[in-house]
Structure 1
């Protein structure tokens, strides 16, 4: 890969600490309202306490949000866009969506926006927002979705008719950096409609409110510096000069709560919602007449003829620029060209233009989904000196056990609107596509969650802000090893051992937490609880069971077996540089074998998690009386054991004779364990050694179900639940009340387990990615001679690599245009599929319909669905892209 592009050079400057190219970036959230951070209620109903209607008028405590916005890395100063089409009831300053209680499938953003391009130093960023010319249908979206049940599709913005006849604006927002502290913003407004239309455009610059909470913090300010000019000054950030071309009207106000509007209080001054009042209601007194405040806007009013466009130019710089727009277009042209050159290098070997487009937008989404995340739990519980005290319930309510947690960092978000907070296992997956373009940031993210102000003193990793104490699958070690390998390859074979060792030590604590807290009887069989799989089974696994007792989890136990192998592999890498790690590698090797053995016999009744009659892994319900009952739901819970696999190269073992000797001794004196799980005495291709929960017999049976189109295999990947449960739902009777699990390819019709409850059948990118990774690992051991029928019933025998490659093609095929010119992920909407202004703009959904592949859930979860970028890269390297 060529690394001599201008963007690569900037990235090296960033790494060396010479030039802070990431000082400014797309760190602004797309939704701060409705988050746990901003919730100071007694009942913890975050969506209700801070609704969308309050967002324009109430100052946020912990962060900011905006439309197509950026900020500095501590989110002191923010820059974004506001729009008004002359008909909307509110100024469009942020994205609108439905709360968890309003949407028929939970929270759901109701806007059309796309991350089109981005470079890792943020030297160039491109964002597209589609704004209707008719009044935005806020009320109709709310009412229609409230009327629809869980079994009905969502009522989307395109369904409302406001985009009919192309009566909308394409608002293209681009940023380019002349240097790390010189930011250019170009706004291109296309009238796609058949008639001329007017539009109010307001680039906005403001300071995050850091002064209202203590009562003694110095307030930063923005003040007029002449026609189309303003100076923004902050005690720490220094001074920035803001230039808006064309002499627009500059408006000023304070980023303060409008207590008069929200609470009926007698209050004088100028408030956060002043620009809304000025533009829409014509209130001249809403804005400051002094030309000064903590929030400013440049107000443009444009009339754009049908089919034409207008361009606005804005610049923010530390330096005084006598002619700020003289070199503006030249800088943009250069940065855009450099972005192309950078991706030409990144995508070397990928010849298919459509695949390049998909990968580039996936990576753009990864970069745009960075966010400044600020949350100090002790301060949140205690309250601020200048504010009313929080309700007493807070001291024993949500997250009160996380008194050490104090976050103020740039973090990769799953989705900056629907999930504008980090989640432990999401973040692990997100780091793999990030490592393709920004390996330093990917490594920093993996380190971050193990730092003392994130990780609990007891060793638990924080799950997500709605319940930091919940439990996510422990994939952090897997991601750490994968990012280490990717980074090592990009650095010519030199691995970042300091990074690997730093994370490894903390993950040992986390592994111990799992062993001590999630193994109820000390048998190496794990419960785990939620593990991200809400609604996939009969019971809510995070709640006390109605039957009493507990569930021994096939997935929880398999995740721990995988975790042990991941830590063993990291320890082996470190042991090549420090022999003390050989002992630790041995410890995790042996722990893996104990877990594997336990899966075959989890109680005195001789019952294991493997069901020999069905040839599948199931959870087992253990009643208070000790009775054990397999819960025979065929779901991805039973496929996770495939992921616990590691193949050791003979050269590695030869370099670590102490480890090799201990392994041989252990297997010799524990032959029953070795016979269950390991092919240690049967070297595979190239004398490799296999560690797996599955020998060939069980693996073939498990694959027979996984690769069956009537069960797990779909045209677009592996489903979360077997399609066999469509006609034969699994039914469990609890106190004479039947509880069933039925295959549902899209949104689940059962929401009893909280959240969107959406795991009953769709295709999920991260689980599929792990399964593909596991098949490739098995193939590296067995080689081409080990073949299974694929698809099941076809009579066609394939190697495991051929199957992995085809599953990868099915997943990338969600986004790539097929022979009919259709991108399955974009669904059946004709406009999205065929309109030239829509068809090449990608959305990376949270999950995908198990039968037809259209996107579902969060629409911008580039987070883990961004793994498609890695799949495309692997296919390109294998020469499989046309």
Structure 2
């Protein structure tokens, strides 16, 4: 039983709760317009809170964040601003500059930086300029407005250190980077998540008996103090050193302002904006109590000057909250953080590589969020907030078992403040370097009965839980299991075994739902790759056809091999560690079944589908999707894209030790090879031992592997200076066209943002470099090398005359990806593109962002700017690299 919980408090506060699916109670289902950024300061959230540089307890009963004012803005800066999907010319996009600088796995120390302009924040200008731009134009960024010219901004560095698990110290260091002195207001804000406004006696979860309160109490000299009391969380104390005043209000909607209806209380959520900016003294509660409170600091900071502000939140009543122990605790936690990363990070990395890796891991740890979504309750609506009539048969209506209330790794807490299960699998790889326990819990979570659908489907994301993402969960489980075993020295069999059994349900769902003809060719739909196809693969296809997907089928081959690998591991442990006779190991039988399924998928991928049509194109020596028309016509969709590279992933090597220790599996595999030669003829020679007497299972024979690698490593096709492109550059000069009836569909190479609004237009798989797929390519090449060794060398780049082993190719691809973030000598970092300030200014150039994807030619960061989630994989690449 756990007695200490140092993770009780952490950065679990979202960075955007407005304009989310959960907060949408509109009649139209348009969440972007129903709850806007402009309303967020005045309107209470139903499902979860958001804030700037904020933290909260694990249940988000009590939140702590900051609000800022420069004396010029029309509102306080208490949350990050960005464009909605319809406002941005490339979809939703945060328009702020902030950086996660440090964190321990327990969040005993946290550090981040926010850059706050001194001029009025150009809210309207950003909206109007981006709205006026087309898909073929770049995004209009905050730097483009000139608001940071002459360095007229504040660097706001926020640090948290825990003196104990429920004793949180805060220190904010503000530096005026500008040439003149400037006014600065800071409001450290404490508030409760609203559980009382929805018509439930004990809150929506039935766990809060009574309304929490914040109220003023006496404090030591020079210190403003208040007390926080919550029916479940218990009492906490808050102190603000040398604050000017403390303000109180309620975390309740200003209904009079927004809807023209009476307010429940005269003191509402936006009171501090009105008090500080408009001078409305009556906006705050003179009785100094409420459910939202803020200390108020006001300073004039000279040019180049720095001010330090301190406050403390604790479940203990300290007599001297800012005594010597305060700074000592900070020094101790910072030293512990440095010591932790010194132990974690690989020796031999350069200073710049260490910086990039530590920032990537900090971003992974900061990007946690309490995610609360009770679908049955959301479908029904609340007593005070009824659901629209369409909802019962609308979005997520068939996911009425789903109840989420967990701290989850987010892709990006502003642009994607909701989990995506296939993203989570990638997140867990770098997370396992610093917190394998958390990574294992994340992977387990999505298979629990309150997440996984009764039919075995894993939830995709809140926009459409039933959408289909690539089946990477088994791979992530296996990789985290192996990383954890290597780090701890103890394999976690219960974790592996439990997840294996849950994934059997998901595998069965895939087989039954996505293999339309029962011939082992899959029509998966979306599969996470947004606009990679010439058609929208989630929508109805032209003239009623359907697509046999090269990637969908290859993903299932990959899934089969991962499940086989896990079953073999469990079967070997039964034999070696548990004394179970190999003749009675159920896991050998399961491994055999997955092997057979893999053979059938391989046959389906490589055999003629009729009329000379196949997923494998013998003339081009590449895999393509195959369009089935209603009249039986088969049309190969000859787009050279990531779709044709994914068959690389379905590869595993089997150690000779394993084959000898599991004789039943060994016997059955050889029976298939001897008695089902048609099935075996389309894959690698599994019965021919390679390096170390290993055996190879792969969708690709050696000659097909070499053919695909010629495309992969061609700089005029897939190989960019910064990794593998998602679409071949050859389509720049030669766009692909297909004519269906009286319509023509086209796809061309687009190395930057998307040139269409497909899937919201905020991501693009038609040319840019994406980390998750690159990472799987690298791992696949490593596995091929385990079998072929030095006997297989390929030209890299194609046509260069330089030949490399597949392991050397994997190292080269890793190097190119890592180079995205490293400074080039005295120059800049490729991910910063042509932004001169970001590349050259000493206060900007060493701040690292981990974008969603990267320009296919120059490496500029694109999409969500804080998608540390899967781009955080660079931390793992650095860990396994040899350094610069």
Matching residue of 1:863:
869
Please say if 1:828 is aligned against 2:826. no
CA distance in 2, matches of 1:820, 1:699: 40
Aligned runs of 1:193-342 on 2, under 5 Å?
A: 193-217=178-202, 218-227=210-219, 228-267=224-263, 268-326=265-323, 327-342=325-340
Quick one: which of 555, 566, 576 aligns to 1:559?
A: 555
Matching residue of 2:883:
881
Return closer, same or farther for 1:532/1:46 CA change in 2, 3 Å cut-off.
same
Matching residue of 1:446:
443
Aligned runs of 1:575-594 on 2, under 5 Å?
A: 575-578=571-574, 579-594=585-600
Residues 311-343 of structure 1 deviation map (CA, whole Å, 9 limit, x = unaligned): 000100000000001111111111111111111
Residues 289-311 of structure 1 deviation map (CA, whole Å, 9 limit, x = unaligned): 11100000001101111101000
- 3-state DSSP of counterpart to 1:174: strand
Aligned runs of 1:63-142 on 2, under 5 Å?
A: 63-142=48-127
CA contact (8 A) 1:733 1:739 kept: yes
Please say if 1:542 is aligned against 2:538. yes
Please say if 1:496 is aligned against 2:492. yes
Give 1:248 deviation, angstroms. Answer: 2.8
Greater shift in the superposed pair: 412-421 or 282-291: 282-291
CA distance in 1, matches of 2:793, 2:62: 59
Aligned runs of 1:399-414 on 2, under 5 Å?
A: 399-414=396-411
Aligned runs of 1:365-514 on 2, under 5 Å?
A: 365-385=363-383, 387-492=384-489, 494-514=490-510
CA distance in 1, matches of 2:317, 2:754: 57
Matching residue of 2:358:
360
CA distance in 1, matches of 2:433, 2:157: 26
Residues 622-659 of structure 1 deviation map (CA, whole Å, 9 limit, x = unaligned): 01111111000100000000011000111111111111
CA distance in 2, matches of 1:548, 1:390: 35
TM normalised by structure 2 equals 0.96
Quick one: which of 784, 795, 804 aligns to 1:789?
A: 795
- 3-state DSSP of counterpart to 1:516: helix
Matching residue of 2:672:
666
Give 1:587 deviation, angstroms. Answer: 0.7
Residues 332-369 of structure 1 deviation map (CA, whole Å, 9 limit, x = unaligned): 11111111111111113233000000000000000000
- 3-state DSSP of counterpart to 2:150: helix
Residues 190-236 of structure 1 deviation map (CA, whole Å, 9 limit, x = unaligned): 00111111111000000000111134231101110125001101111
Matching residue of 1:6:
none
CA distance in 1, matches of 2:374, 2:200: 18
Give 1:496 deviation, angstroms. Answer: 0.5
The answer for unaligned runs of 5 or more in structure 1 is 1-15
Matching residue of 1:724:
730
Matching residue of 2:686:
680
Greater shift in the superposed pair: 747-756 or 582-591: 747-756
CA contact (8 A) 2:85 2:760 kept: no
Matching residue of 1:631:
637
Return closer, same or farther for 1:215/1:459 CA change in 2, 3 Å cut-off.
closer
CA distance in 1, matches of 2:543, 2:422: 29
- 3-state DSSP of counterpart to 2:50: coil
Aligned runs of 1:677-756 on 2, under 5 Å?
A: 677-756=683-762
CA distance in 1, matches of 2:309, 2:130: 36
Quick one: which of 508, 515, 520 aligns to 2:511?
A: 515
CA distance in 2, matches of 1:512, 1:467: 21
Greater shift in the superposed pair: 208-217 or 180-189: 208-217
Matching residue of 1:161:
146
Matching residue of 1:11:
none
Please say if 1:765 is aligned against 2:763. no
Q: How large is the Cα RMSD of the aligned pairs?
A: 1.0
CA distance in 2, matches of 1:115, 1:522: 48
Greater shift in the superposed pair: 440-449 or 347-356: 347-356
Return closer, same or farther for 1:757/1:737 CA change in 2, 3 Å cut-off.
farther
CA contact (8 A) 1:225 1:231 kept: yes
- 3-state DSSP of counterpart to 1:238: coil
CA distance in 2, matches of 1:757, 1:312: 40
CA distance in 2, matches of 1:555, 1:305: 59
Give 1:748 deviation, angstroms. Answer: 1.4
CA distance in 1, matches of 2:507, 2:758: 31
Greater shift in the superposed pair: 120-129 or 212-221: 212-221
CA contact (8 A) 1:534 1:754 kept: no
Matching residue of 2:529:
533
CA contact (8 A) 2:403 2:451 kept: yes
CA contact (8 A) 1:197 1:305 kept: yes
Matching residue of 2:207:
none
Matching residue of 2:622:
616
Please say if 1:605 is aligned against 2:611. yes
Matching residue of 1:814:
820
CA contact (8 A) 1:523 1:602 kept: no
CA contact (8 A) 2:684 2:702 kept: no
Residues 32-55 of structure 1 deviation map (CA, whole Å, 9 limit, x = unaligned): 001000001121111110110110
Return closer, same or farther for 1:27/1:757 CA change in 2, 3 Å cut-off.
closer
Give 1:820 deviation, angstroms. Answer: 4.9
CA contact (8 A) 1:525 1:602 kept: no
CA distance in 1, matches of 2:331, 2:615: 60
CA distance in 1, matches of 2:549, 2:643: 8
The answer for unaligned runs of 5 or more in structure 2 is 203-209, 575-584
Return closer, same or farther for 1:541/1:205 CA change in 2, 3 Å cut-off.
same
Residues 477-511 of structure 1 deviation map (CA, whole Å, 9 limit, x = unaligned): 0000000000000111x111111111111111101
- 3-state DSSP of counterpart to 2:163: strand
Give 1:549 deviation, angstroms. Answer: 2.0
CA distance in 2, matches of 1:184, 1:570: 44
Give 1:795 deviation, angstroms. Answer: 1.2
Give 1:602 deviation, angstroms. Answer: 6.2
CA distance in 2, matches of 1:320, 1:296: 19
CA contact (8 A) 2:723 2:816 kept: yes
CA contact (8 A) 1:474 1:563 kept: yes
Greater shift in the superposed pair: 206-215 or 428-437: 206-215
Give 1:821 deviation, angstroms. Answer: 2.3
Give 1:606 deviation, angstroms. Answer: 4.6
Give 1:817 deviation, angstroms. Answer: 1.1
Residues 41-73 of structure 1 deviation map (CA, whole Å, 9 limit, x = unaligned): 121111110110110011000000000000000
CA distance in 2, matches of 1:851, 1:70: 39
Give 1:818 deviation, angstroms. Answer: 1.7
- 3-state DSSP of counterpart to 1:235: coil
- 3-state DSSP of counterpart to 1:581: helix
CA distance in 2, matches of 1:333, 1:168: 28
Greater shift in the superposed pair: 576-585 or 204-213: 576-585
Give 1:388 deviation, angstroms. Answer: 3.8
